[in-house]
A and B are shown apart, each in its own frame.
Chain A
């Protein structure tokens, strides 16, 4: 039997949870339900133009055993990780400068950084193609300066092009959480540490990073997970050697000969692996800065 205090607690809990209800419903409707459908589909079979309801692990077996998919998964994780490893330090440096060097003007710089998002995802990829192309801005400038005689071909349609473009695309998204986290770090804490003799590196490692860790973690999540999940950028600037697993998953959902159950299984294997790596890296980050 529930006691009076229990009832009161229950009443308070239900009151406090009520505001979450609309968001929770939307989450379930637009995320959980589609994901569940996709998960169920991953155990089905494709036969000609039909999807056959079934419970088979064949799709998962193929997703894990196939050398083709394994190779692409590894490449995807590496590209995601390298992108995050480039984006997060740059975003941290930029956020640090906005918070502690430019101070009030930092907000203005932040607005400028975020303004780039208004140009649209596709437009920005094409902008990078214009910069990195054989006859692009970078090659033309380097040739004009006499630094190179022939265009640097690796700048476009390569893994390097994919990482550069993804880094450019994801940087604004990584700046926002780190800057927000740094706003919670007071100047008093910084000055107290300095008064106690902390150098700049020590200050960043022992004061700033731990305090900004929620933002860094979010920035890493944005950079790593979005880079690993992208397939538009590789298809537009990656060329023939830079396909990621997302490109192959997309193939399974379009056109004659597509195999939705296999595509769904590949997607869940990818999600599982990428999430596992993300959680491991976050654990390491937390330990390093503890």
Chain B
């Protein structure tokens, strides 16, 4: 049983939230609870249960505490270890017992596109704080279907290379350049089939890097295999990758997390971020969504409204080492966290680069285009070769 528990914890998907929970010493900033009163006053039927299933930390364990206590809400939080776990639970008896979910950008896009039932459209009049979102998040295309909005973004970020500046001045121009023997024994990747394959598809100049034919997928894996002799290990999570870099077992993390640099700094190790200049990196964002047939709708709306307030959003971004989604929250963030992310991207309307960048392949084969299972198998071949 203990092994099973550990296995679940360890083999979680690449989760920043899980890492942050393990990283000691992160205090919640002192702005908590400032906006609790306003939103609570507008929701007449608060109290009782609120069922949360999402990424660890996004339940706002510290940030939401005063709001929950004031309104007599008992948050029943459980955490997913994979992006599609909410759907599995929903379809295996969870429907009618789930309120809040925290899908990531690509998962929510895929669900909405496939017309699979999981989320319900949101009544934005009940979430007035959402008006303060950065332009990219106000009309995020991955959260909208038929003019209805299905999620409120709560945090975002990118996945740059994290490297030791004592060993490297900068990253090469392209990801394919990591095949150079000078990187032997220096690289650590994340166990993320889609992120890695997507990056190499971009690097190889493929037009639609999330929509590959079988031949193109093979070409990508061939390019990745040329780099593999230089790879020390594949990190089980962002936390594991940071540990490998901090111990000096590798000096470059591909598809890392800017917050790893702060964690390393606490341990007396200097790491910096940078990505191949030509290829760049990819961006992610998580949102609050409400499950279809949610039993505690009033609590769910009030919770989202509270967490999207300026102060709460800043507190959550700081606690999770991520980008804030509310424009005014930016000013409340400490520069050490604020400067980790390129906010120019989210100040652009229409979703910015987050809106145009699709990292995850289609679920099923679509004509010549191969679906997600083929990507997973290709990634396994890469790992096992």
Give the B-binding residues of A (Cβ under 8 A): 46-50, 68, 71-72, 120-122, 126, 129-130, 133-136, 153, 156-157, 226, 230-232, 235-236, 238-240, 243, 247-248, 250-259
Contact (A240, B232) CB under 8 Å given A46-B373, A49-B114, A256-B360: yes
CB contact between A239 and one of B10, B111, B232 (< 8 Å): that residue: B232
Q: Is the CB of B376 within 8 A of A259?
A: yes
Q: Chain A residues near B233: list those with CB within 8 A.
A: 157, 238-240
Q: How far is the CB of B175 from chain A (nearest CB, A)?
A: 17
Q: Is the CB of B11 within 8 A of A235?
A: yes
Interchain CA distance A254-B107 in the complex, whole Å: 13
Q: Mark B189-228, 1 if CB is under 8 A from A, else 0.
A: 0010110000000000000000000000000000000001
* B363 close to A (CB within 8 Å): yes
Q: Chain B residues near A256: list those with CB within 8 A.
A: 83-84, 106-107, 110, 194, 360, 363, 372
Beyond A68-B381, A232-B11: 9 further Cβ-contacts under 8 Å?
Answer: A129-B243, A129-B247, A134-B247, A232-B236, A254-B85, A256-B106, A256-B363, A257-B371, A258-B376
CB contact between A121 and one of B6, B84, B249, B364 (< 8 Å): that residue: B6
Q: Chain A residues near B360: list those with CB within 8 A.
A: 256
Q: How far is the CB of A173 from chain B (nearest CB, A)?
A: 11
Q: Is the CB of B7 within 8 A of A232?
A: yes
Q: Is the CB of A240 within 8 A of B234?
A: yes
* B240 close to A (CB within 8 Å): yes
Closest 4 A-B residue pairs measured CB to CB? Answer: A257-B372, A254-B82, A48-B363, A257-B376
* B383 close to A (CB within 8 Å): yes
Q: Chain A residues near B231: list those with CB within 8 A.
A: 240
> What is the interface of chain B mostly: helix, strand, loop, or mixed?
helix
Q: Is the CB of B11 within 8 A of A231?
A: yes
Q: Chain B residues near A126: list those with CB within 8 A.
A: 243
Among B356-385, those with CB < 8 Å from A are 360-361, 363-364, 371-373, 375-377, 379-381, 383-384
Contact (A122, B82) CB under 8 Å given A129-B247, A133-B247, A256-B107: no
Q: Chain B residues near A259: list those with CB within 8 A.
A: 373, 376
Interchain CA distance A254-B82 in the complex, whole Å: 5
CB contact between B363 and one of A49, A122, A236 (< 8 Å): that residue: A49
* B267 close to A (CB within 8 Å): no
Q: Is the CB of A235 within 8 A of B191?
A: yes
Q: Is the CB of A49 within 8 A of B3?
A: no
Q: Chain B residues near A153: list those with CB within 8 A.
A: 185
Q: Is the CB of B83 within 8 A of A47?
A: no
Q: Is the CB of B376 within 8 A of A240?
A: no
| Residue among A153, A236, A259 with most chain B CB within 10 A | A236
Q: Chain B residues near A49: list those with CB within 8 A.
A: 84, 87, 110-111, 114, 116, 363
Q: Chain B residues near A231: list those with CB within 8 A.
A: 7, 11
Residue of B nearest to A72 (CB): B384
CB contact between A236 and one of B10, B83, B91, B228 (< 8 Å): that residue: B10
Q: Is the CB of A251 within 8 A of B376?
A: yes
Interchain CA distance A254-B237 in the complex, whole Å: 13
Residue of A nearest to B193 (CB): A257
Residue of B nearest to A136 (CB): B247
Q: Chain B residues near A226: list those with CB within 8 A.
A: 3
| Residue among B11, B111, B116 with most chain A CB within 10 A | B11
Q: Chain A residues near B234: list those with CB within 8 A.
A: 235, 239-240
Q: Chain A residues near B383: list those with CB within 8 A.
A: 240, 243, 247
* B81 close to A (CB within 8 Å): yes
* B128 close to A (CB within 8 Å): no
Q: Chain B residues near A50: list those with CB within 8 A.
A: 91, 116
Q: How far is the CB of A240 from chain B (nearest CB, A)?
A: 5
Contact (A122, B10) CB under 8 Å given A48-B364, A235-B234, A256-B107: yes
Interchain CA distance A245-B12 in the complex, whole Å: 17
Q: Is the CB of B373 within 8 A of A254?
A: no
Q: Chain A residues near B166: list those with CB within 8 A.
A: none
Residue of B nearest to A237 (CB): B233
Interchain CA distance A133-B245 in the complex, whole Å: 12
Contact (A240, B228) CB under 8 Å given A49-B111, A235-B10: yes
Residue of B nearest to A230 (CB): B3
Q: Is the CB of B185 within 8 A of A255?
A: no
* B61 close to A (CB within 8 Å): no
* B286 close to A (CB within 8 Å): no
Interchain CA distance A12-B82 in the complex, whole Å: 52
| Residue among A134, A153, A226, A257 with most chain B CB within 10 A | A257
Q: Chain B residues near A135: list those with CB within 8 A.
A: 247-249
Residue of A nearest to B10 (CB): A232
Q: Is the CB of A236 within 8 A of B384?
A: no
Q: Is the CB of A71 within 8 A of B384?
A: yes
* B58 close to A (CB within 8 Å): no
Q: Chain A residues near B23: list those with CB within 8 A.
A: none
Interchain CA distance A47-B185 in the complex, whole Å: 39
* B13 close to A (CB within 8 Å): yes
Q: Is the CB of B384 within 8 A of A248?
A: yes
Q: Chain A residues near B379: list those with CB within 8 A.
A: 251
Q: Is the CB of B6 within 8 A of A47?
A: no
Q: How far is the CB of B161 from chain A (nearest CB, A)?
A: 18
Q: How far is the CB of A157 from chain B (nearest CB, A)?
A: 5
* B2 close to A (CB within 8 Å): yes
Q: Chain B residues near A68: list those with CB within 8 A.
A: 377, 380-381, 384
Q: Chain A residues near B376: list those with CB within 8 A.
A: 251-252, 255, 257-259
Contact (A47, B240) CB under 8 Å given A121-B3, A239-B232, A247-B383: no
Q: How far is the CB of A109 from chain B (nearest CB, A)?
A: 24
Q: Chain B residues near A47: list those with CB within 8 A.
A: 364
Q: How far is the CB of B224 from chain A (nearest CB, A)?
A: 11
Q: How far is the CB of B229 from chain A (nearest CB, A)?
A: 9
Q: How far is the CB of B34 from chain A (nearest CB, A)?
A: 37
Among B78-121, those with CB < 8 Å from A are 81-85, 87, 91, 106-107, 110-111, 114, 116
| Residue among B2, B12, B243, B373 with most chain A CB within 10 A | B373
Q: Chain B residues near A129: list those with CB within 8 A.
A: 243, 247
Q: How far is the CB of A147 from chain B (nearest CB, A)?
A: 20
